[in-house]
Amino acid sequence: MLLTIDNFDFKGKTVALRVDINSPIDSQNEIILDDARIRACSDTITELSNNGAKVVIMAHQSRPGKKDYTTLKSHAEILSKVLNKEVKYVDDMFGSHAESTIINMEDGDIVLLENVRFYAEEVLKDWKKWKDDTPKKQGKTLMIRKIHHLFDYFINDAFAAAHRAQPSLVGLAYYVPAIAGNVMYNEIKTLSKVLNNPEKPCVFVLGGAKADDSIEVIKNVLSGNIADKILISGIVANIFLLAKGYDIGDNKAVVESMGYLNQIEIAEQLIATYGDKIVFPIDVALNIDGERKEVDLNLNEKIEYPIYDMGSKTIELYNGHIKNAKTVVANGPAGVFENKNFIKGTEGILNSMAETDAFTIIGGGHLSAAAAVVGLDKKMDHISTGGGACIEFLAGKTLPVIKVLENSYNKYRQYGRNI
C-alpha cells in the first residue's frame, strides 16, 4: 500500500517533488529533443500547484562524464510551456539561494532546483541497493541535512529511477512522509497487476541487450506461473541458442564481450525446467556487408555472420502467440532496429501488439523509442517511463524507492484521509 496525493491537503504546504525528467539533449546547443518524461509528470505538478502547494522540483540530467550532463535550465523552460505556468529555475540545490527562494514561495508557485547529480554524494556507486538503514544514511548526507527542514512532504514521481537509492530519491523520507505521485502510482498499479493477476494467456516478449536483467524476469515470471509463454530475441536469444547447442559463430564472442557467458548455464537450467514455455527464433536475419539475409536456424549449421534481427518465419511464429494472448509485456527490441534493414523484427512485434485485443505493456527504454519511430506508441495500453526500473520490478527485485513508499504508508497512514 502507498500514500498518494489524494490522501493529503497540500494547501499552504511546501512539498519536495522528485521527478525523472532526464531527457535526450542535443549537446551542441542544449536543446531537449524529446519532452515525453517532462509531459509525463506534468499532471502531478499541476494537481499540486492547483491545490495550493508550494512545489519544489528535484531532478537529474544524465551523469558526470556524459555529453548531455548539464543544467536543468532548458527543462524549466519546457516545463513552463507544458504547464502554461512559470516554473522558476534555481541554479542551486541546497545553498542560500535555494533556501531563500523556497522560503519566499507563494501558494501554487513552482520551482525547479539544479541538477541533483551536480552534487557528489548523489552519484556515489554504493547508493544503488536497498538496505533497512538506507533512508537514514541518505538522510544524513549534506544535501538532505541542509534542506529537509524546508519541506512538509516528500512526493516521489520518479519511477524511472525507482531502482536507485540516491539521497534525492530516498533521503527526505527519513524526515517527512513519502508519497507516491501520479506517475509512480500508475506505474506500480499497472505492473503489479501483471505480476499478481494477469489475464491469461500472458506472454512476455524479451529482447534487447540487457540479457541478464531479461533472464531474471524470465526466472521470476515462469517460477511464479505468471507467464504462459516467453518469446525471446536479441542477445537474450543468442544466449539461449548457445544453451541449446547452436553454433552461432562469432556471435558468441559478442555475448562474451558483454560479460554474459555465465548466463548460458542459467539458460540451460531454464530450458530444462520450463521446456516449451520458452519460444526460440526459428530463423534469423544476418548482416552481410550491410545487407539483410535471412537463414533458418539449424543445429548442424554454423552461423557465419553477425545476427542482427529475427527472421520472417520467427516474426510469424511470435505473431501467433501475441495474437492469442490476453496480456502482452514486451521489453527490448528484437534486433538492431536503428538500422532500417534490421527493424523488421521489432516492427513485427509492435505491429502484433497493436493489432491484438490483449492488454499491452512496453517496458520503456529502446523498445518504447522504436514504437515511437514506427508510429505505434499510441496504440499500446501502457508504456513504462522506466527502462531499468521496470525490468527490475518485473524481475521481482526490491526497488528502494518503492520500499521507502511502502514503509512511509505504514508510518504515516493515520495522518492521511480516505485511507
d(CA 230, CA 221): 9
DSSP states of 30-68: TEES--HHHHHTHHHHHHHHHTT-EEEEE---S-TTSTT
d(CA 341, CA 194): 33
| Cis-peptide into 64, omega within 30 deg | no
d(CA 350, CA 313): 16
d(CA 286, CA 98): 55
Q: How many CA atoms lie within 13 A of 335 on its CB side?
A: 29
Helix axes 312-323, 344-355, angle to 10 degrees: 20
For β-strands 110-112 and 88-89, DSSP reports them as: parallel
Q: For the CA atoms of 197, 199, 202, 205, what is the dihedral angle to 10 degrees? A: -90
d(CA 278, CA 270): 8
d(CA 88, CA 91): 10
For β-strands 283-288 and 291-296, DSSP reports them as: antiparallel
Cβ(333)–Cβ(346) under 8 Å?
A: yes
The conformational region for residue 209 under phi > 0 = left, psi -120 to 50 = alpha, else beta, is alpha
- Tell me which residues are annotated as active site: 37, 210, 365, 388
Element at 135 (helix H, strand E): helix 134-139
For β-strands 202-206 and 153-156, DSSP reports them as: unpaired
- Report which of 3, 388, 2, 410 is spatially closest to residue 164, judged by C-alpha positions: 388
